[in-house]
Structures are given as C-alpha cells and as structure tokens.
Amino acid sequence: MIIVAPYAKKMRNGADKNPKDYPYWWDLLLQIDEHVIQIGVDGEGALCGDVRYNLSLSELDSLVQECRTWISVDSFFQHFCWDLGKPGIVLFGQSDPNIFGHPENVNLLKSRDNLRMNQFWWWEQTPYIEEAFVKPDVVLEALAKF
C-alpha cells in the first residue's frame, strides 16, 4: 500500500492551488498498480477511491507504519514521516529540498532554476507554476526503488 498526501495547506488568500501542489496526480495515480490511500483534510479533492480525511496523529502513525512507502508534496506529512523514520518521495517545485527536505527521502526537484527567490516568503506571494514539477515518469522511477 502507498500513501499519497497530494495537497499542501490551503492558501489564506483563497487561491485554488498552493504553489506546492503537484499538478500531475491523476496521470501518476493511473500508473500505480497498487492500493493507494490518500490522506488529507476536509475540502480537499479526492484523487482515488480510498480517501481518509482528518486522521489523528496516532491514526496517521499506524497508517504510515503499514504502508510500503508514501508520496507527498512539501508539507507537514513529509516531516511527520521523517520523524517516524519512514522514508518516502517528496515532490518539490519551488521550495528548496536542501532547506525543507530530509536526506533520507527521495526529494524530487525538476530544476533549481524553478526555486523561488526568497524561500521564506509567504506562499501567497508565489505564483503557481505547473512546469516547476517533475513528470510522473520520474516519480514512478523513484517509486520502483522502494
């Protein structure tokens, strides 16, 4: 089983997408031939048949312990899994994995050219750039190594 955490925190300015949100989830999930569980919070769009919203930390812990691995955008979930000692795949676009990532994970960044100038600005100051992310084939290649 693979856990996916597809969304970063909702934007305070009401924008539909957080610049950290991976744009190719549909294409990626169609190519994963394994049970996928999506985790998140109420109001996030469902990307697969098994979606679990608003889990407690102990419920998340249990789920992470049971999974083969996980895939997440740069969000709380990657840090939570790192604390549990469970490596996975983190999809970076404009945030710097050298600052916000953990070396135990597979931190996928398309290009350092896509990193935003000030890594500590509010995300509401950052435009969404779909092209900043790796394509699903890169994620699948990393997933095959788990």
CATH label of the domain that carries residue 60: 3.40.50.2000
Across the chain, mean pLDDT equals 96
pTM score of the predicted model: 0.96
Q: Specify whether the CB–CB gap between 39 and 80 falls below 8 A.
A: no
Q: Identify the pLDDT of residue 14.
A: 85
Convert the pLDDT of each residue in 23-68 to its tens digit.
999 999 999 999 999 999 999 999 999 999 999 999 999 999 999 9
Number of domains in the chain: 1
**6 has a pLDDT exceeding 90:** yes
Strand partners, 73: 91
Convert the pLDDT of each residue in 106-119 to its tens digit.
999 999 999 999 99
Convert the pLDDT of each residue in 69-98 to its tens digit.
999 999 999 999 999 999 999 999 999 999
105-22-30 Cα angle (round to 5): 90
Q: What residues make up the domain containing 90?
A: 2-143
Q: Which regions of 34-138 does DSSP assign to beta strands (E)? A: 36-40, 51-53, 69-73, 89-92, 106-109
Q: Identify the pLDDT of residue 92.
A: 98
